[in-house]
Structure 1
Amino acid sequence: MTEQPSLSLPARLWLAFLCFWRVLVSRPFAQAVWPLSASYDSGKWVSGAPSPTPLPSPAPPPKASAPVPPEREHASALALLSMLQREGRLVDFLQENVAAFSDAEVGAAARIVHEGCRKVVKQYLTLEPVLPETEGASVTVPQGFDANRIRLTGNVAGQPPHAGSLKHHGWVTKEVKFPSVSPALDPRVLAPAEVELA
């Protein structure tokens, strides 16, 4: 074995510290160092001593996966919008300029949209009010309330508890039952074009 370069005392102390902890926490490192401890005697390498076991080569770092395109990342939201279009023609309604229609025509269209969209929401989502009281009822907002669930409006001053009137009971989703989106489908297509053949 070739002579090793001379190390200063601080360098040797640092190396001893590092080796001490690596031997304690790494079994492969300890197994690799063990034969060396028997082959070095009184400042000289002993010939014929077993050669150290080579350390296993480190595993290559995992390859970064390709970023998911936005339409795949949000496929479930696009699928919901597609279902709202299929059952309630929601996209058609929102894309239409209703300013030219009478209130009666808009109301008739809204009834169809409402019925279909309500069907989809009831089928795939379980909703319930955030607060059970009826709108207009007096409610007390306790100290430590969840600001995601309750929004204070009006004259907001001081620390909770606050007393006020319930303007909207809010909604919270208790259960989601979306079907899985097939990777074979393009989630960006909310409704296919329909062509009637003669």
Structure 2
Amino acid sequence: MTESNMSFLSRLSLAVGTFFAVLGDREFAAQVRRLRDGAVAAAPVTAPQPATAAAPTIKETSPEAALQLLGLLQRGARFIDFVEEDIAGYSDADIGAAARLVHDGCRATLREHFTIRPVREEAEGSRVTLADGFDATAIRLTGNVVGKPPFSGNVSHRGWRVEEVRLPMLTKTHDATVIAQAEVEL
């Protein structure tokens, strides 16, 4: 399948992954903004990789888990309803109140289905030294990256790592693309 001929499920999976990447990576978010503003012509937006990283092996993923997570966030926090709502006519106070409810529901849903821990235990702003052989898949170097380890710098984001996933089992007939059923009141 070519990049310009992606299926709906592939695009949805990409959108969900991009959503979380934008939330967790300021530089990636800035690249997405530049792309949307037209500053980057047709170049693909990719998260920066360490210069020493070997070319990753690309594996195909199934979108079912992403769709299941969207369904859980919708059920627990009305996440899709909130994101799809046109908020232009609401006051900042109304949006803030709604965002607090969505935040609480998203947080409860994530905590119910995932065990998430920081990658680094140090507080943001702490000074650290990274020895040769540090895990470049868990730690991204930013700023003026020159030379070889050891590197000394400040923790600007502690990162997040999922330690455990507790998604419900699905039946074979479950349609994961229906993330929230339509409701008809009788």
User: Which residue pairs with 1:104 in the alignment?
Assistant: 93
Shift of 1:105: 1.4
Alpha-carbon distance in 1 for matches of 2:177, 2:131? 44
User: Which residue pairs with 2:72 in the alignment?
Assistant: 83
Shift of 1:122: 0.6
User: Which residue pairs with 2:114 in the alignment?
Assistant: 125
Shift of 1:98: 2.5
Match of 2:72, SS state, is helix
Alpha-carbon distance in 2 for matches of 1:146, 1:81? 30
In the superposition, the TM-score normalised over structure 2's length comes to: 0.65
- Contact 1:82–1:191 (CA under 8 A) maintained in structure 2: yes
Alpha-carbon distance in 2 for matches of 1:163, 1:115? 36
Alpha-carbon distance in 2 for matches of 1:182, 1:148? 34
Higher-Rg member (1/2)? 1
Shift of 1:148: 1.3
CA deviation map 1:79-104 (0-9, x unaligned): 11101000101111111232332221
- Contact 1:93–1:113 (CA under 8 A) maintained in structure 2: yes
Alpha-carbon distance in 2 for matches of 1:77, 1:166? 29
Q: State the Cα RMSD in Å.
A: 1.9
5+ residue gaps in structure 2?
1-8, 14-60
- Contact 1:87–1:116 (CA under 8 A) maintained in structure 2: yes
CA deviation map 1:137-157 (0-9, x unaligned): 111122111221001111111
5+ residue gaps in structure 1?
1-68
Shift of 1:130: 0.2
Alpha-carbon distance in 2 for matches of 1:122, 1:135? 22
Match of 2:88, SS state, is helix
103-112 vs 90-99, which moves further: 90-99
User: Which residue pairs with 1:191 in the alignment?
Assistant: 180
User: Which residue pairs with 1:180 in the alignment?
Assistant: 169
Q: Identity across aligned pairs (percent)? A: 48
Q: When the two structures are aligned, how many residues end up with a matched partner?
A: 129
Alpha-carbon distance in 1 for matches of 2:89, 2:132? 50
Alpha-carbon distance in 1 for matches of 2:93, 2:141? 36
Match of 1:73, SS state, is coil
109-118 vs 93-102, which moves further: 93-102
Alpha-carbon distance in 2 for matches of 1:177, 1:119? 13
